[in-house]
Structure 1
Amino acid sequence: MEFLIEYAGFLLKLVTVALIIVLTFAGIFASKSKEKPGGLKVTKLNDSYDAAKSQLENELLDKKLLKQQQKEKKKQDKLAAKADKKSKKQDVKAEDAKKRLFVIDFDGDIQASATQALRREITAILSIATPKDEVVVRLESGGGVVHGYGLAASQLQRIKDANLSLTICVDKVAASGGYMMACVADKIVAAPFAILGSIGVVAQVPNIHRLLDKSLVDVELHTAGKYKRTLTMLGENTDEGRAKFKQDLEDTHVLFKEFVSSARPVIDIEAIATGDVWYGSQALKNNLIDQVSTSDAYLVSQLESSDVVSIKYQEPKKLAEKLGLSVLGAFEAKAVKWFSKISQYKGY
């Protein structure tokens, strides 16, 4: 038993030394190596749909009927390949080519951090798209900070400025800043129970001044500029500061309403911009959307007439992630997100 204890101790030391060596070399490698750029993942959804359909047919259809269908499909594929080859030789004009439908996913958080990937995806699409093509954004967001979602909406506006058709599909929620993005579209499609609207502005600032005062803790705040800081977490807030803070919210709300009204003039903005939300079917009656449908149904309806292509920008993996050492980074990100929720926050 004594031998086993000593042997276990030896192994533990060996593992510790090995781990230190690995981390040391990893640090040296990280400091010298250049970060590789991210890349685009392109998936043709027509092929994914055909593969799923083919798998079900193989399992469920009569073998004789299946063989006949496969024979017919091979014939059609051969004709299509021949036509494609011929079109390439003849250098077919862009207006005669098949319509392409580019699909982007945007899953928004409070900071609208998905905007970084969105801007790259849009830039890539605009480099090859033609006016007959369409961009579909599957959007999910309950809103967040004003500047973050303002930039995200501006990125979508680039698609419109390039004379491309833009469709937004909402399966769950596009509220507040999420709806500000959605209203840029030529067409908004939402599922029957998707949540839309919340055209309003919210802000919260916890204040622990009285607790600190009881503990005989003084907080000094020095600013240059009368309204550099209106409300604070630690100091004593004044009625004048509260009034200015509230006025800032009202001004931001006016900007929000003007943006939605300009992008979607069919909306009765004064009746809708109360901060309230509506489900898909109700949203259609209030002109918040144009069609009640899931994103799946909409995309499937386009498969026959269009090449439906999913575009996704993938961030490069950092060395820590490759080595499985990103737990601390994840904890830090969660802590920052939590702090942003309880500290001064102004957003859609």
Structure 2
Amino acid sequence: MSEWVAEIATFVVQTTIVMALIVIGLLLVTRTKNDKESDLKLSIEPLNDQRRRRGRRLRLAATMPGARKKLLKAFRRENKKRHKSHKSVDDAAQEPRVWVLDFHGDLKASQTEHFGQEVSAIIDVASKNDEVVVRLESAGGLVHAYGLAAAQLDRLRDAGLTTTVCIDKVAASGGYLMACTAQHIKAAPFAVIGSIGVVAQVPNIHRLLKRHDIDVELLTAGKYKRTLTVLGENTEEGKAKFLEDLENTHRLFKSYVAERRPSMEIDTLATGEIWYGSEALSQLLVDSVGTSEAYLVERMAEARVFTVKLEPPKTMSRKLGLAISEGVEKATLKALGLIDAAGWQRR
């Protein structure tokens, strides 16, 4: 009996600890999300140097121990030569530069505010022969949110900067709205492209409420202040107006894309369909097929490449919060994976 009580007590303690960690993690993550804008730091990573360091480490690892000293001397001579070639500030300023931004979109395109500030930072320092590469990943979301995100990219075009959007996974709907602002769109072979359409759905429980004698009074000033509702009775006139608004949004979407991609057959392609990267090329939705990594390596051969990102300071509370959040997320994904695998095994 005492062993059973001990096991129950241990289970309760373990459960309490896990729940406490989850709560602490959520609080810390919430705190990090509310970081003041003044606390954000501009992180800049020279990708040429990063690639060079990794290449040297691999070469050293693959070299026989006796020859490593000679190879290290060769690296030092190479560093001196490079330092001399960049000694003149004027010469360095003439060297082409590539600025790399990342945009990972959610439903509300919540990264847009920081993305806009990153765009501003680049516009302040970039010269006319510089290029901006945006590694974009988004399946779309709210119209007004992605309209603002696309407008941030338009600022690069207006500033006279060459812009390339690289799509490795997906740029659909609002994501493609952003992508089409670039002079060149590059997509991986199986990246999901397109979905030039608008969708909306509104659940309605009016009949359920009516069945239980529950009335809902919806009062508006303005004929179309509410067209469809969740609780009230939807009229045919309201449905028609709602559909008219959707069509108008779709028309604006098509016009925006057509203006920036005039070679596309917009009426044929704006059906809400999606294409994979290699298919999208033949439809002129993209300009070339390839991965962002391959493209950046190609650009490193002739330009200095930098990633630019605004991020909060790496405080201990932020590290702890993100670590706990990541642990919970991994555990959830692992559990879902096991459930999915079990389903396949049963088939």
Tell me the TM-score normalized by structure 1: 0.79
Shift of 1:308: 0.8
The range that moved more, 54-63 or 187-196, is: 54-63
Select 2:294's aligned residue among 280, 297, 306.
Answer: 297
The alpha-carbon distance between structure 1 residues 292 and 65, as it changes in their structure 2 partners (threshold 3 A), is: farther
Any residues of structure 2 matched to 1:136-215 within 5 Å, and which?
136-215=133-212
Q: Distance in 2 between matches of 1:268 and 1:304?
A: 36
In 2, Cα distance between equivalents of 1:73 and 1:254: 58
Which position in structure 2 is the counterpart of 1:345? none
1:109 alignment counterpart: 106
Identity of aligned residues (%): 51
Structure 1 distance, partners of 2:252, 2:125, is 34
Partner of 2:45: 43
Q: Does 1:268 align with 2:260?
A: no
Distance 1:138 1:272, change over 3 A: same
User: Which residue pairs with 2:54 in the alignment?
Assistant: 52
Give the superposed CA RMSD. Answer: 3.0
Counterpart among 130, 133, 144 of residue 130 in structure 2: 133
| Cα distance, 1:70 vs structure 2 | 3.8
Letter in 1 for 2:128: P
**Which moves more between the two structures, 195-204 or 39-48?**
39-48
The equivalent residue for 1:306 is 303
Q: What residue in structure 1 maps to residue 74 of structure 2?
A: 72
CA distance in 1, matches of 2:286, 2:321: 44
Q: Are 1:243 and 2:219 an aligned pair? A: no
Contact 1:192–1:292 under 8 Å retained in 2: yes
Letter of the structure 2 residue corresponding to residue 248 of structure 1 = D
How far 1:54 sits from its partner (Å)?
Answer: 1.5
1:138-173 CA-to-partner distances (Å, cap 9, x unmatched) read 000001111001000100000011111100000000
Aligned length: 299
Alpha-carbon deviation of 1:62? 3.7
Structure 1 stretches lacking a partner, 5+ long: 1-11, 13-18, 24-29, 329-348
Matched, 1:283 2:280: yes
Q: 1:127 to 1:63 in 2, by over 3 A?
A: same
Q: CA deviation at 1:48?
A: 1.5
Q: State whether residues 57 and 66 of structure 1, in contact with CA within 8 Å, keep that contact through their aligned partners in structure 2.
A: no
Instruction: In structure 2, give the amino acid aligned to 1:278.
Output: W
Residues 56 and 144 (structure 1), Cα distance of their counterparts in 2 relative to 1, 3 Å cut: same
Deviations along 1:90-133, one digit per CA (max 9) or x if unpaired, are x4484xx2111111110001111110111010011111000111
Structure 1: how far apart are the matches of 2:71 and 2:289? 34
The amino acid across from 1:174 in the alignment is A
Q: Distance in 1 between matches of 2:318 and 2:304?
A: 35
Q: Could you tell me whether the CA contact under 8 Å between 2:60 and 2:71 is conserved in 1?
A: no
Deviation at 1:313, TM superposition (A): 1.0
TM-score, scaled to structure 2: 0.79
> 1:72 Cα deviation (Å)?
3.4
Distance apart, 1:37 and its partner CA: 2.9
SS at match of 1:204: coil
Closer/same/farther in 2, CA of residues 93 and 53 from structure 1, 3 Å limit: closer
**Which AA in structure 1 matches 2:229?**
T
Q: Which residue of 2 aligns with 1:338?
A: none
Instruction: Note closer, same or farther for the CA distance 1:303–1:65 as it changes in structure 2 (3 Å cut).
Output: farther
C-alpha change, 1:65 and 1:258, in structure 2 (3 Å) is farther
Q: Which structure shows the bigger proportion of residues in helix conformation?
A: 2
Distance 1:148 1:318, change over 3 A: farther
Cα separation, partners in 2 of 1:102 and 1:219, compared to 1, 3 Å: same
